[in-house]
Structure 1
Amino acid sequence: MTVLITGGAGYIGSHCAVSFIEAGLDIVLIDNFSNSRPVSIDRIETITGRQVAFREVDLRDEAALEAVLREFECTSVVHFGGLKAVGESVSNPLAYYDNNVVGTHRLLSAMAACNVRKLIFSSSATVYGDPQFLPLTEDHPTGPVNPYGRTKLMVEDMLRDLAGSNPDWRIAILRYFNPVGAHHSGLIGEDPLGIPNNLMPFISQVASGRRDKLSVFGNDYDTDDGTGVRDYIHVLDLVEGHLRAHDALDRHSQAGAALTVNLGTGEGYSVLQMVRAFERCSNREIPFEVVERRPGDVAACYAETSHAKAALGWTAERGLEEMCKDTWNFVCKNPLGYAAE
């Protein structure tokens, strides 16, 4: 029983690999290194003391996907592989539809050919769009306002249709809020290629001196301090949710339906609150400048989490201080990120 993890060298994929190995599961990773580095696989092996099976595969290469599924006799897939920057999706939507939608279609086709019908999909709270009410429940209307979110919703719809077509499919759709933090060892963490698109790695690179200042995209939102509010979740809590979902699918009794669950903390923090929290943790000043709003962003977004507890027996346990502390630990041990190696 081997689990295929797509995007396994990436930020969340690498942490999930550690979590699954420590739970006693056999895994194989694939990645094309479009936003990750091979050294993260070495770090996974250092943390776990296990050699990790890996194949360099592009998600859109259906024949290669099928070959990996057969070679390792995979019985399930955790699907992280995808492009994930909201702003980039606005400027380059075709790349997002190609990688996220077409790539997932080819993965599903390869799975069907190999009779592998258990899947956990990395979705996003962006599928909700501009919230009509908060906190966001799983039955909140969907209406993504950017191409990234639309690709996630398209894949969700594809998965629901697939689940409805054959009761043998067992599918979990996990809608993430904002993953942050790093493994407590400091060996793996978030290290995006190029200019960070997410808040926490940008803040941490300013704190470490890699960047001069943080760009705050708008301070005129209808929030307490005018900056955007998000639900930040520690990556270790997030991957624990995947482990719980992997177990839950074996007892998921609702044939013909995908299990859809929010993974968040239920608490929102503004950009400026995150800046101040990281300053306290790192004992560094975080210079920032306010710039124009970023296309596709919403004012506030945070989760209603009761369904995750009921369906998965899962609740986020780590708070903001631990998120900042573990991020700073990773940065201090890797001041130039993985690029130093």
Structure 2
Amino acid sequence: MSTNDELLKRVLVTGGAGYIGSHVIYTLQTTRRYKVISIDNLHNAHPKALSRVAQLARDALPVDASEKDKDSAEIDSHICDLTQKDQIRAVFEKYGKGGIWGVIHVAAYKAVGESTQIPLSYYENNVAATLYLLQVMQEFECTKLVYSSSATVYGIPPVIPIPESTRLKADSPYGKTKVMCETIIEDLCSSEPEKWRALSLRYFNPAGAHPSGLIGEDPKGRPGNLLPLLAHMAIGRVQDSKLRVFGNDYPTPDGTCVRDYLHVLDLAKGHLLALDALSPESKVFDNRPTDARFKAYNLGRGQGSSVLQIVEAMRKATGYGFEWEIAGRRRGDVPDLTADPTLAEKELGFTAPQDLDTMCRDLWNWQTKHPWGYGEPEGELAPRTRQVVE
């Protein structure tokens, strides 16, 4: 598709230094078709992630790499708070009108439980920030967007696995921010259908890390998601003797919540496919029901795993004997979120072939190579061990 005479397309990734953003940037750079611009306020991210991603891209260059190839391996990084419109505008001004081909908007607060405690922060950081980003994009004639949404938009879905046609009825403030942002983006695409093109990717549960162990998930503070929490318990960063399992009386095979996990690199490839689908020659909007060039796709494997199954998979990967206890249900939790990924497979060519064991292995590889994540304080942690009965 691309020749050496063509210019690299500039693509802006918000939240580029974060877990998902860094793997998305890695995937974009493997194509050598894009010049990546990262913006991040480093709230839950580390700049070292970007230097590691650039290192991976440089290491993958051929001996006879062109100057354009070399340029594709370097990231333009900006510290920017999306709730400050002037800061967003300052980044866009560096590239001028039409200077940025498209945006992948990953940045957001994302913890369901936390969103129930500080909803106003979530509405400001997720909804207001998206609104400001879109306004600046419009100002600078950048009208192609891939939006990071979430399976939480479905609330408690009436049908499992969940198709995209499911009504949107989020239960948590976090999920509601995603519904609001999708609504805003769709309204914008409806208002100027010849200009705007946007795809919303409803993530299920990303997990794992790049197999090199150079980049991975490094949440600040206590991890809010199950897999990184288990990794931190096994490595000794979280000293809890037992995992608290929130509810075992859900209508699922073992009573614990079921989630659809996919490898973060498979998820990242979904963003690349979505970005390609925003090109003028793309057919994905041909069957849309309205004039608006807006569509939503599930990114998942279509296979659910329960909390207890995840614990067992991490026990196999780490050799650590996790113990757990049942706590009460947690507000905002949904019994089963398993994707029907058929539409993304059919229209985007999306697949998520890497299984749960691979995700756990790659997560543990990252965690053992970098016990403290990107922070790396003095004094390495040795993985804790507990006798595991096979």
Q: Report the TM-score when normalising by structure 2.
A: 0.86
Partner SS, residue 289 of structure 1: strand
Asked if structure 1 preserves the Cα contact closer than 8 Å seen for 2:285 and 2:294, the reply is no
Q: How far 1:176 moved relative to its partner?
A: 0.2
Structure 1: gaps of 5 or more residues: none
Partner SS, residue 5 of structure 1: strand
Asked if structure 1 preserves the Cα contact closer than 8 Å seen for 2:14 and 2:21, the reply is yes
Asked if structure 1 preserves the Cα contact closer than 8 Å seen for 2:35 and 2:74, the reply is no
Query: Map of 1:108-127 to 2, 5 A cutoff?
Result: 108-127=134-153
The reply on whether 1:36 has 2:45 as its aligned counterpart is yes
Q: Matches of 2:207 and 2:376 in 1, distance apart?
A: 21
Q: Matches of 1:268 and 1:253 in 2, distance apart?
A: 29
Match of residue 299 from structure 2: 263
Among all aligned residue pairs of Structure 1 and Structure 2, give the percentage whose two residues are the same amino acid. 45
Query: Map of 1:162-241 to 2, 5 A cutoff?
Result: 162-167=188-193, 168-211=195-238, 212=240, 213-241=242-270
- Which segment is superposed worse, 244-253 or 139-148? 244-253
- Which segment is superposed worse, 268-277 or 280-289? 280-289
Give the partner amino acid of 1:288. W
Q: Matches of 2:317 and 2:126 in 1, distance apart?
A: 36
Q: Matches of 1:124 and 1:209 in 2, distance apart?
A: 30
CA shift digits 1:200-237 (9 cap, x unpaired):
10011111122233221111111111110000010000
Match of residue 172 from structure 2: 146
Partner SS, residue 132 of structure 1: coil
Structure 2: gaps of 5 or more residues: 1-8, 59-72, 378-390
Asked if structure 2 preserves the Cα contact closer than 8 Å seen for 1:126 and 1:144, the reply is yes
Match of 1:288 among 313, 324, 329: 324
Match of 2:365 among 319, 329, 334: 329
The reply on whether 1:66 has 2:89 as its aligned counterpart is yes
CA shift digits 1:273-301 (9 cap, x unpaired):
00001111111112222212111001111
Q: How far 1:69 moved relative to its partner?
A: 2.1
Match of residue 99 from structure 1: 125
Q: How far 1:92 moved relative to its partner?
A: 0.2
Match of residue 52 from structure 1: 75
Q: How far 1:66 moved relative to its partner?
A: 2.1
Q: State the structure with more CA Rg.
A: 2
CA shift digits 1:294-332 (9 cap, x unpaired):
110011110001100111011111011111110010001
Asked if structure 2 preserves the Cα contact closer than 8 Å seen for 1:232 and 1:264, the reply is yes
| 209 and 287 in structure 1: CA distance in 2 versus 1, 3 angstrom threshold | farther
Give the partner amino acid of 1:108. L
- Which segment is superposed worse, 41-50 or 239-248? 41-50
Match of residue 66 from structure 2: none
Give the partner amino acid of 1:115. E
Asked if structure 2 preserves the Cα contact closer than 8 Å seen for 1:218 and 1:226, the reply is yes
The reply on whether 1:300 has 2:327 as its aligned counterpart is no
Q: Matches of 1:292 and 1:195 in 2, distance apart?
A: 20
CA shift digits 1:157-211 (9 cap, x unpaired):
0011011011210100000000000001101111111111111100111111222
Q: Matches of 1:222 and 1:91 in 2, distance apart?
A: 26
Partner SS, residue 143 of structure 1: coil
Match of 1:22 among 26, 30, 45: 30
Q: How far 1:126 moved relative to its partner?
A: 0.2
- Structure with the larger helix share: 1
Partner SS, residue 43 of structure 2: coil
The size of the alignment, in residue pairs, is 341
Q: Matches of 1:127 and 1:31 in 2, distance apart?
A: 24
Match of 1:12 among 2, 13, 20: 20
The reply on whether 1:2 has 2:10 as its aligned counterpart is yes
